[in-house]
Amino acid sequence: MTTSHALSVQNLKVYYHTSGGPVKAVEGVSFNLSKGEKLGLVGESGSGKSTIALALMRSHKPPAIIEEGSINLGETNLLDLNEENMRKARLSDISMIPQGAMNSLNPVTRIRKQVLDAISDHNLRFKKAEQENFLKNLMESVGLDYSVLNLFPHELSGGMKQRVCIAISISLKPQVIIADEPTSALDVIVQRQVIETLSKVQKELEAACVLIGHDMGLMAQFADKIGIMYAGKLVELGPVKDIFQNPTHPYTRLLIDSLPDTKEKRPLIGIPGLPPSLLNLAPGCSFCLRINKENKNEIPWVEINKDHFIQKCDICSDYGKIKTKK
């Protein structure tokens, strides 16, 4: 199959199998990314965002199982690769910047060894001078001094640790970068520095990028398009401008309404109710369950504008319209 997409995810389903039944963490998610394109995946905790990230890397562990779907890098379906070839694809073709750098870096190992250990599986052979030049250029690409290589993680600030993780993830120039909440637990100034670093290296590599997070404002600055996750499903997907100016799914409208308004002083608007349990989740519209309504019919995926899609439920589609300012 010939494709122009750097990353194509189709009908991805990931379930956690428990004694009480399957937890449908990801249910039928599909999206495409071209070379150099950036997608922001947004949603509440438990909506399936991080499970998608693990599935894209094939780093999920039991009881999680990919039940169905495809994950194509160019013409290669990652789900068809054996473990040895998938191990080689990680870092060189697709890489991940993990959530929480402190938990990702070995606290008793210097940064130099951690970088070299990460690429050791790929049979790179350096002469000493070549190795030092490689490491120097890699550190500079993420705005770190060469001397950082000789430090332990505890000697670095949170932002510096996160940039080390970015450096490791781009060390072999992957086609696709998955960033799973790379700014969590960082203050707003450091968040911006990390996002600027990620944006810079992503642009230099022309890599497709999936940024996962909760912060709609951060996504607006970084992404080309935004996908809204709710209860394991992608409920809206479109260009950043369309999502903010014309949010069409009721959950998207509520997310945007919950953002502080600097122009008009008003109480913060919360999202009522709770997301449904994903254990043995019934078919139909999951958002209806949140607002005490019900629609068990299959919800169609509808293009409402160029490249702007929603799961369109006839029962809850008008919910929240009164509050949303156009």
In this prediction, residue 247 carries a pLDDT of: 95
Residue 19 lies in a domain: yes
Sign of the CA dihedral running 188, 31, 77, 300 = positive
Residue 151 lies in a domain: yes
Sign of the CA dihedral running 165, 161, 227, 293 = positive
In this prediction, residue 124 carries a pLDDT of: 73
**Global pTM value:** 0.92
Query: What is the phi/psi pair of residue 171, to 5°?
Result: -60, -30
**Local mean pLDDT, 10-residue blocks, the chain (326 residues):** 80 97 96 97 94 97 97 96 94 91 88 92 79 95 96 94 95 96 88 93 97 91 96 97 95 87 71 90 91 92 96 91 50
Residue 312 lies in a domain: no
User: Tens digit of pLDDT for each residue in 289-313?
Assistant: 999 899 999 999 999 999 999 999 9
In this prediction, residue 324 carries a pLDDT of: 43
In this prediction, residue 313 carries a pLDDT of: 96
Residue 297 lies in a domain: no
Residue 323 lies in a domain: no
Residue 59 lies in a domain: yes
Domain that holds residue 77: 7-260
* Residue 163: strand, helix, or coil: helix
CATH number of the CATH domain containing 89: 3.40.50.300
Residue 198 lies in a domain: yes
E strand or H helix at 11: strand 7-18
In this prediction, residue 325 carries a pLDDT of: 44
- How many domains does the structure of the chain reveal? 1
Pull the structure tokens for residue 186: 């960082």
Residue 206 lies in a domain: yes
Query: What is the phi/psi pair of residue 95, to 5°?
Result: -135, 165
In this prediction, residue 3 carries a pLDDT of: 52
